[in-house]
Structure 1
């Protein structure tokens, strides 16, 4: 699972729209749509309904995991960067 796609998913879930998420992330709405489609293809399930944007049950479950996963990835990157900067 690509963390960039997961971040896009979290933004869409939080914003409630592809265009607002695109603005927040600095992407086009089309790119956001492609990210979500790629994540859904990877997971082989629908995560969102499109009009209106709402989480499916699978999307709600993924969102529960997404925050802690992204925090751990950010912490891991920061730890590695600190080590490489100290060496």
Structure 2
């Protein structure tokens, strides 16, 4: 079963908890839930998304298991491998 990262209800609570998890290296990836994309915390594309649309993952296995795909910018090689498995989408 996959754990849910509970960050809190307010923006301040979320920021404090998230910073602590990142500092402890427990959170390594962020995602964009409307399009189910995950990437590095440092990705410029991810930093531009609305805070309300962000989700966080402990690792890549968790993101993939929840149906997210790699970011085409910060995880280029993983994205290219994923794209090869999606032939019906990319003709």
Structure number having the greater helix percentage? 1
Q: Do they fold alike, i.e. is TM over 0.5?
A: no
The TM-score normalised by the length of structure 2 is 0.29
Structure number having the greater strand percentage? 2
- Choose between structure 1 and 2 for higher RCO, CA contacts under 8 A separated by at least 6 residues: 1
